[in-house]
Amino acid sequence: MTLFSRKPVTKDYTTRVVRMHGTCNACKKTFDGSTSLENYYICPDCGKYMTVSAKARITMVVDEGTFEPWFKKPKDENPLHIEGYEEKLEAARKKSGASEAVTIGKAKIMGETTVIGVCDPQFMIGSMGHEMGERITAAFERAIEERLPVILYCCSGGARMQEAIISLMQMEKTAAAVKRHSDAGLFYCSVLTDPTMGGVTASFATLGDIILAEPGARVGFAGPRVIEQTIGQKLPAGFQTSEFLLEHGMIDGILERPFAREHLAYLIRVHKTDRSVAKKFKVKSLEPIPDVYEEQISAWEKVKMCRNGYRASAMDYIDRVFTHFYELHGDRCFRDDRALIGGLALFEGMPVTVLADLRGSGVQDRMARNFGMPMPDGYRKAVRLMKQAEKFGRPVVTFINTSGAFCGVDAEERGQGEAIARSIMEMSGLKVPVLCILIGEGGSGGALATAVGNEVWMLENSTYAILSPEGYSSILWKTEQRAEEAASIMKLTAQELYRLQVIDRIIPEYGGADSETADKISEVMQACMTAFFKKFCVMDGVTLADNRYTRFRKF
């Protein structure tokens, strides 16, 4: 079961044969290393992800023979001279076969060079002392010098008690090193494995540009026993698992071991390519397209068309216009909003960040997506992903189709107005090209929150309005009955908005946007996008932000 919305990215991954040692802590079956298993330390009996040593992890993830270790046996082993600590370290070394709780070096993953570090659960449960902090910090520093991404497989029981306050200082030290690496525009991906607890979650483990976690891994700041003892509260089932974190917006996705190599390689590849490749794009000439600047259908008819369940969704266009859409989840605050999704994709090989309102299909999916009405969490996720796009110089493309931002008590409690305002503000200043396409209903502030583009396009029959015609009629005339009349005077059609210069382009629908016409619409969209990227990708960041400022300043 994969929680990414798309299949694995490439076909060329090879199955890794790893000899399994150890006991499955779910079903207690023991493996003595005599069997070679092709299943990545996933228990063949019960499917549980078993603990993996740093050494075995590196074998599973990196290209054979490419790992170049960076750190040798540490010198200053017992900074606070705690009795018995050196013996404990010696025993941990024997048990794990590693010199410390993290192994770091340079390697290739499917040909992509990266710094990779792996915390070792078999070395004092990956507890963080000064040697671990030192290695991680030094690795980020060296990654800055060599302009390399960093991948860290995290696992930790928390701070190492034998090093007391010195252990605590590692949190500050490693977080500061991550900051420098990030400010240098470099990519960091953390992968959380079972267990990642305590100080490590409050420092480098949760600071990745992208955070992934293995299925079922326990991840949290305070351990469940501590919480239960402190506040006497019984914890819900599945509390502090990867799946719990995903739902609560803390991670981007679940990383299954068999696909780890190709997912990581894809992410490295995406983050080393910038928008300069757009210079080589060839603009396709299209057959004469139907006149879309004349009104063919009444405004009210268009309103009804956009609400129709058969209308093509953002996913229909994303699948056709881009390749390798890779969904990223969560606002890092509260929840993953499924009404407003985001992720990475490639346009003719150029990485872009895509955001899209999704209404869902089928009763369950529609409910899970809150009928396409985003919560504040959705807009906060959008801002997070747009700022991430800006860091890596990637263009942003948004697909808008919402009746509006959700109105309700919980949305207000979490600051719906502030979330929309911040999205508009941050979007206006982005130092990358931004293209916004209204593909259905464009409902008020909830739509505008992701519609601050260098260009704004609309599908021929889509709408964009301050509120629904029913709402407009009831405010203006104290009845909802005059919605049709309201629609006709509100200037909500693409044609009227083009004349008002609210939008820059109309994309033809060839009779109506549905599964039948999605191919043709996408073809036009793609050709127009090529021209858009050719024009805007060569501009520097300040010019792009100025261009957007001027565009909206005129109203």
List interacting residues with Zn ion (CB under 5 A): 24, 26-27, 43, 45-46, 48
Nearer to Zn ion, 32 or 410 (CB): 32
How open is the CA angle 488-465-438, to the nearest 5 degrees?
Answer: 115
Q: Quick one: DSSP state of residue 204?
A: G
- Give Rg (Cα) of the chain: 26
Nearer to Zn ion, 43 or 92 (CB): 43
The CB-of-123 to Zn ion minimum distance in angstroms stands at 23
The CB-of-44 to Zn ion minimum distance in angstroms stands at 8
Nearer to Zn ion, 32 or 183 (CB): 32
Nearer to Zn ion, 48 or 520 (CB): 48
Contact assessment for residue 167 and residue 290, using Cβ atoms and an 8 Å cutoff: no
Residue 74 three-state SS: coil
The CB-of-216 to Zn ion minimum distance in angstroms stands at 12
Q: Which of 153, 155, 160, 93 is nearest to 127 (CA)?
A: 160
Contact assessment for residue 160 and residue 167, using Cβ atoms and an 8 Å cutoff: yes
The CB-of-23 to Zn ion minimum distance in angstroms stands at 9
Q: How far apart are the first and last CA of the chain?
A: 49
Nearer to Zn ion, 24 or 355 (CB): 24
Rounded to a whole number, what is the largest CA-CA distance in the chain? 85
The CB-of-50 to Zn ion minimum distance in angstroms stands at 7
Nearer to Zn ion, 46 or 500 (CB): 46
Nearer to Zn ion, 27 or 531 (CB): 27
Nearer to Zn ion, 20 or 513 (CB): 20
Nearer to Zn ion, 27 or 226 (CB): 27
Task: Give the contacts of 358 (CB within 8 A, at least 6 positions apart).
Answer: 313, 314, 315, 338, 339, 340, 341, 369, 372, 401
The CB-of-217 to Zn ion minimum distance in angstroms stands at 16
The CB-of-258 to Zn ion minimum distance in angstroms stands at 17
Six-digit token string for 149: 């991404």
How open is the CA angle 163-165-166, to the nearest 5 degrees?
Answer: 60
Encode 395-410: b = buried (16+ Cβ within 10 Å), e = exposed: bbbbbbbbbbbbeeee
Contact assessment for residue 74 and residue 51, using Cβ atoms and an 8 Å cutoff: no
The CB-of-28 to Zn ion minimum distance in angstroms stands at 7
The CB-of-26 to Zn ion minimum distance in angstroms stands at 5
CA dihedral (16, 17, 22, 27) in degrees, to 10, reads 80
